[in-house]
Amino acid sequence: MNSRNWKALLLGFCIIVCGFESKSQGINFQHNLEEAIGQAKKEKKMIFVDFYTSWCAPCKVMSDEIFPKKEVGDFYNQMFVNVKIQCDDKGYGLALGKHYKVQAYPTLMFLDTAGNTVHSIAGGLDVQGFIQLGKTALDPNKNQLVLVKEWDSGNRTQAFMTKYFKTLVQSYRSDKAIYDFEKYFASLSGKQKASTNTFELMQIVKSVPFSAPFEYMEMNKVDYYKQLGKKKIDSTIAASYLWYFKNLQASGFSNKDLSDFKNKMKLFRSKKYPFYDEYAAFYQVFDSYDAQGKDDIKLYIARGNDFLTKYGLNNDAYTTSLTHVLGNLTSAKDEGAAGITWMESLLKRKKDPKYLNTYFYILWRNSRWDQALEVGQQIRDNQIKADRSTLDIDKQIKMVSEQKSKHVK
């Protein structure tokens, strides 16, 4: 074999080896939780589980940019047995996701060798944040399991309960937060239920309409007025109904069953709140379908225009919510340009940076590439000023730039 062939062979070998090393330097994942638990028992380790779906963008970022890092692999492979579970596989992963009450993706969960949840969060992290998450899970003085044990032991100080319920909600363990809070609420006297401290806990766990704590507050509003003021209680009740029904309607649309939404709306109407007609009109905008049951974007825009003309000044969230859904419906240049007008009207009367993300979205969905890139840069500048990561907006700006190049050609 001549020297040229040897060099080619060595080069090919190097590519294979280097490629293998590059891929293997990150986290080594298994895909069967039962097998991982068995290994964890032998090695006396905790289990880390990445609950993900095929359609989740932050999941892909974690898999492509965080899990493969050497420093991440060095830490997680040493300290944990690691498992990836796909929750939209309609089989094993779907069942596990339901068992562990996974509500958002990615959910990054840590289990003990009995399969009990020790710690968890939902959402993507950067390298250092992800490593710190693992360290917190390993710390018996900081992880969620120690908080649960302290709750079970009877700690009911306000400071602890605030921390406990915030941690559960932020970790997308709302089911447990609601269950524990409602059991606690039922044990209180009337005076304690209407206290400022209990009201604050209700806001943390997001007690919704028709739940026991919420109905108690409605029936005893005068007691709450004395402690927190009429304006605060009335606005809390109104806002709670608004987003409760919006979420209920969205769930009904996705499941093709609006019976629960309609039945609860009847109960809501019977309460005779002055804002019923306004809210019913808001939900009607989203119920814009043609005779075949398909989204009717023209009807949606017409209803949206009418609603915002009449009620748009009452709540900025009306504009952002309607605009975002219009962006989802838009599939051609300027098809949903009404949403751009809606957002520009909102930004004209209230220049709040938090509205730029929706403005950016509706612009690029309508192929307004240059405008979208300008707004994207504003968002990025604001992130830098606030000392926050620009990773997400950088990816969006890159995506819009690529879409612009593709369509200009």
Q: Is residue 214 part of a domain?
A: yes
- The answer on 264 and 160 residing in a single domain is yes
**Nearest-angstrom CA–CA distance, 171 and 248:** 22
CA–CA distances in Å: residue 248 to residues 245, 263, 283: 5, 11, 10
Residue 135 shares a structural domain with residue 38: yes
Query: Do both 104 and 175 map to the same domain?
Result: no
- Is position 281 within any domain? no
pTM: 0.78
User: Is the same domain home to 110 and 51?
Assistant: yes
Q: Is residue 10 domain-resident?
A: no
DSSP string, 11-43: HHHHHHHHHHHHHHTS--EES-HHHHHHHHHHH
Last residue of a domain, one of 243, 268, 293: 268
Tens-of-pLDDT digits for all 409 residues of the chain?
Answer: 444 444 444 344 343 334 343 445 899 999 999 999 999 999 999 999 999 999 998 999 999 999 999 999 999 999 999 999 999 987 899 999 999 989 889 999 999 999 999 999 988 899 999 999 999 999 988 889 999 999 999 999 999 999 999 999 988 888 899 999 999 999 999 999 999 999 999 999 999 999 999 999 999 999 999 999 999 999 999 999 999 999 999 999 988 899 999 999 999 999 999 999 999 999 999 999 988 889 999 999 999 999 999 999 999 999 999 999 999 999 899 999 999 999 999 999 999 999 999 999 999 999 999 999 999 999 999 999 999 888 889 989 999 999 999 887 6
Of 139, 157, 189, the last residue of a domain is 139
Domain boundary among 122, 139, 156: 139
Domain count, the chain: 2
Within a domain: 130: yes
Range of the domain at 185: 143-268
Instruction: For residues 271 and 221, give the distance between their C-alpha atoms in angstroms, rounded to a whole number.
Output: 14
379 part of a folded domain: no
Residues 112 and 72 reside in one and the same domain: yes
75 and 60 fall within a common domain? yes
- Domain identity same for 96 and 175: no
**Domain CATH for 41:** 3.40.30.10
Indicate if 264 and 182 belong to the same structural domain. yes
In this structure, the answer to whether residues 241 and 210 fall within a common structural domain is yes
364 occurs within a structural domain: no
C-alpha to C-alpha distance for 172 and 102, rounded to whole angstroms: 7
Same structural domain, 156 and 57: no
Strand ranges of the sheet holding 80-86, from the earlier edge strand across to the other edge: 29-30, 80-86, 46-52, 107-111, 117-122
Residues 147 and 133 in one domain: no
The answer to whether residue 74 is domain-embedded is yes
| 209 domain residue, yes or no | yes
Contacts of 275 (CB under 8 A, 6+ apart): 238, 241, 242
